[in-house]
Structure 1
Amino acid sequence: MPSLSNDVPSIAVCLAAFNGVRYLQQQVDSILNQTGVNVTIFASIDRSMDGTEAWFLNLQALDSRIVVLPTGETFGGAAQNFFRLLRDCDFSGFDYVAFADQDDIWLPGKLTRAKDSLIENGADGYSSDVVAFWESGKSLYIKKSFAQRKWDYLFESAGPGCTFVISCKLAVEMQRVLQQKIGELAQIGLHDWFIYAYARARGYQWVIDGYASLMYRQHAKNQVGVNAGWVAFVWRARQVLSGWGLNQARLIAGQIGLHDDVFVRSWVGGGRWRMLRLAFQAANCRRRSRDQWLFALSCVALAFVGWK
C-alpha cells in the first residue's frame, strides 16, 4: 500500500470498464504517466465480451500500480460500477481518490492541478472543464465552471465524473454510506451527480476548475456523453419531460438526507403549483444561465403535462 507523503501525494484512481479494450491502453497510459503524484488504478469491470478482463489481469501481473477487483459481476451501467468501486476499494494510505472512464485521455498534469486546486481552495471535491473530441477529428471545449448555486447540486452534477478528484476523508465517509445503501442506490443513474450532491449537502467545499486537463472521448457507446448538438438536446429534453430528471433529484435528495428539507418538500410532491413555484427558483437550481431558462421552461411544461 502507498504511504502518505507531503511532497508526492498518493492517489487512488477508480476506473470503471465495460467492453473498453479498444481504448484502454491510451487511457491507462495517460493515468500512469501523471506527473508529481503516485498513482494506483483500481479497475472494476462490468462483465465484458471483448477481452477487457483479460487485458486488465495481464497488466496487473506486470504492474503493481494496477489492482483489479474481483471480476464476473454485471452492473448494468457506469453508476453502479462506480458505486462498487467506492464501496469495495481500500483507500487506506491514499491522500485523494479520482474517477476515470475507460476511454478518455488525461493530460500529464491533471491530478497535480486537481490536488493543488483542492489545497488552495480548502476543498474536498474537485471537477473541471473538458475538451470533448470525436474520432472525426472534431473537438469542442466544454465549460462546466459556472458559479455554483444554492441548490444546483440537487439538479445537476459538477461536470463529468471523469474529472472528479475528492479527498480521502470524503471518499471514506461516502464509502461507509454506500456500504449501508447498496439496494437503495440501485435507481440512481448518475454516480457523479450523487457524489457532488452528497458532498455539498454535507457541507464539503467543492471547486469547479475553469481549465480542461482531460480529453473527453465521444463515440456511439457513450452512456451519457457531452451535451452538445441537437441530438443531445432532444434526448435530454425527453428525459426532462418524462420526469426522469426530477425523479433522480427526488431520489438523490432522499438518499443524502434532505427528504425533510423545506425546499425539497416544496416541489418533491409534484403538481401544477409546486412545479410553477420551482420554475421561479431556476436561478438557484442550475449554474449556467441558459440552463436556468431551460430548467424554468421544463418546470412550466411539467406543470401542465404532469410529472410521473
Structure 2
Amino acid sequence: MPVKYPRVAVLLAAYNGMRWIEEQVSSILNQSSVDVTVYISVDPSTDGTEGWCASLVVERSNVVLLPTAGHFGGAARNFFRLIRDVDFEGYDFIAFSDQDDIWHSDKLARATQALLTSEYDAYSSNVTAFWPDGKTHLLDKAQPQVTWDFLFEAAGPGCTYVLSKRLADPLKDSMLCNWQALQDVGLHDWYCYAFARSHHYKWFIDPVPSMHYRQHDSNQVGANTGLTPLIARYKTIHNGQWFSQVQLIASLVGQNRDPFVGAWLELGRSQLLKLSLSAWKCRRRFRDKVFFFFICCAIAVMGNRAK
C-alpha cells in the first residue's frame, strides 16, 4: 500500500522573477515526504515569467497557473489573491512561497510533522539569508512569543509559513468579509500572524532554518541586518506608515475593541508614552523591545505623523 503523505497547497506569488523562479520551483517540487501542488499567481511581468510558468504547467500536473488578475502592485495583494482564489478543499496544509528563495528539501516535511504531532495550527521558521557574494547570515525570529507581538510584527518571513486547514479556512473567510480594507495592508505575513494569534490559534516558530532566503536589489522586504535597514525602519515609523498599519491590522483582526489596544490606538502623545512602557510585551527580541520603547517616546515628543 502506498504511503499517504500530507497534501500541501503551496501559494507562490511571482513578478519579474525569471532570474530565480526555476530554482525556487524546483526546490518546492523536490520536497520530501509531502504531496505538493504549486499554485502560481503572476503580477503582469516583462521578463517572460508568465510564459515560463505557462510552459511548466504543461509539463507538471501538480503546478497550476492562476488566470491573470491585473496589476497587484506588491506581494501582499498577490498573496491575498492566492488565498482568495485557491480552493483549499482536499489539502491538509497551505504554505506560502516567494519566487526567489531555495527551500531545504525537508522544509515542508518538518513543518507538517510539527503541526501533525502537536497542538499548533501554524508554523514558521528561521531562515539563512544569502547574498550574491556568498555571504550568509542566520535570521533568528524564534524568540518566545509575547502577549501583543502580533500587532507589531510578523512571525518571520512569510515564505516560511505553513498553515493548517483548520486555520486557513477561517482566515480566508475573514479576508473575504474585509476584502476592500485588506487591500491597504502592506505585509500579508504580518496580517496572517495577527489573525491567527488574535483568534487564539497556536503558532510555532522553529529555530531551525528551513530555507535559503535570497537577498538582491529587487527584494520588496529583505533581511533586516546592519544599520541601513534600521534607518529605513525608523523612517517608515517616523512618517506614520508603520503605526498606520498597526491601526489597520488591529481593526481588521478585531483587536481595536480590547481595553489594552484601545488605550493607545489613537496614538496621541500620552498614549504613545503609555505604550512605550509595554514594550516588553509588544516585541519578541530584546533589541526590538528597546527600539520600540525609544521610538514610541521619540514619536510622542516629536509628534505622530500618522494622525
Residue of structure 1 in register with 2:131 after alignment: 134
Q: Residue 73 in 1 paired to residue 66 in 2?
A: no
Aligned-residue offset at 1:46 = 0.5
Choose which of 131, 143, 146 in structure 2 pairs with 1:146.
143
CA distance in 2 between partners of 1:181 and 1:10 (Å) = 28
Q: Percent identity?
A: 46
Residue of structure 1 in register with 2:196 after alignment: 199
CA distance in 1 between partners of 2:287 and 2:34 (Å) = 37
CA distance in 1 between partners of 2:13 and 2:183 (Å) = 16
CA distance in 1 between partners of 2:70 and 2:292 (Å) = 37
CA distance in 2 between partners of 1:138 and 1:297 (Å) = 31
CA distance in 2 between partners of 1:98 and 1:31 (Å) = 11
CA distance in 1 between partners of 2:182 and 2:228 (Å) = 29
Residue of structure 2 in register with 1:215 after alignment: 212
CA distance in 2 between partners of 1:6 and 1:184 (Å) = 43
Residue of structure 2 in register with 1:92 after alignment: 89
Aligned-residue offset at 1:72 = 4.9
Aligned-residue offset at 1:25 = 0.7
Counterpart secondary structure, 1:274? helix
Residue deviations 1:20-67 (CA, integer Å, cap 9, x gap): 011011000000000000000000110111111111010001101101
**Aligned partners of 1:121 and 1:207 also within 8 Å:** no
CA distance in 1 between partners of 2:175 and 2:148 (Å) = 23
CA distance in 2 between partners of 1:89 and 1:72 (Å) = 13
**TM-score, reference length from structure 2:** 0.97
Residue of structure 2 in register with 1:50 after alignment: 47
Counterpart secondary structure, 1:41? strand
Counterpart secondary structure, 2:180? coil
CA distance in 2 between partners of 1:189 and 1:305 (Å) = 25
CA distance in 2 between partners of 1:302 and 1:243 (Å) = 9
CA distance in 2 between partners of 1:91 and 1:189 (Å) = 24
| 1:242–1:284 Cα change, 3 Å | same
Residue deviations 1:176-216 (CA, integer Å, cap 9, x gap): 12222221111100000000000000000000000001000
Q: Which runs of 4+ in 1 moved over 4 A?
A: none
Structure 1 window deviating more from structure 2 (237-246 vs 139-148): it is 237-246
Residue of structure 1 in register with 2:177 after alignment: 180
**Aligned partners of 1:53 and 1:71 also within 8 Å:** no
Residue of structure 2 in register with 1:38 after alignment: 35
CA distance in 2 between partners of 1:179 and 1:142 (Å) = 33
CA distance in 2 between partners of 1:234 and 1:6 (Å) = 51
Aligned-residue offset at 1:264 = 1.1
Residue deviations 1:83-122 (CA, integer Å, cap 9, x gap): 0000010111000000000000001000010011112331
Residue deviations 1:209-249 (CA, integer Å, cap 9, x gap): 00001000000000010100111111111111122221111
**TM-score, reference length from structure 1:** 0.97
Counterpart secondary structure, 1:183? helix
Letter aligned with residue 40 of structure 1: T
**Aligned partners of 1:106 and 1:215 also within 8 Å:** yes
Aligned-residue offset at 1:7 = 3.7
Residue of structure 1 in register with 2:236 after alignment: 239
Aligned-residue offset at 1:6 = 8.4
Residue deviations 1:244-291 (CA, integer Å, cap 9, x gap): 221111100100111211111111111111001100000000000010
Residue of structure 2 in register with 1:161 after alignment: 158
CA distance in 1 between partners of 2:67 and 2:104 (Å) = 29
Residue of structure 1 in register with 2:288 after alignment: 291
Residue of structure 1 in register with 2:227 after alignment: 230
CA distance in 1 between partners of 2:210 and 2:154 (Å) = 18
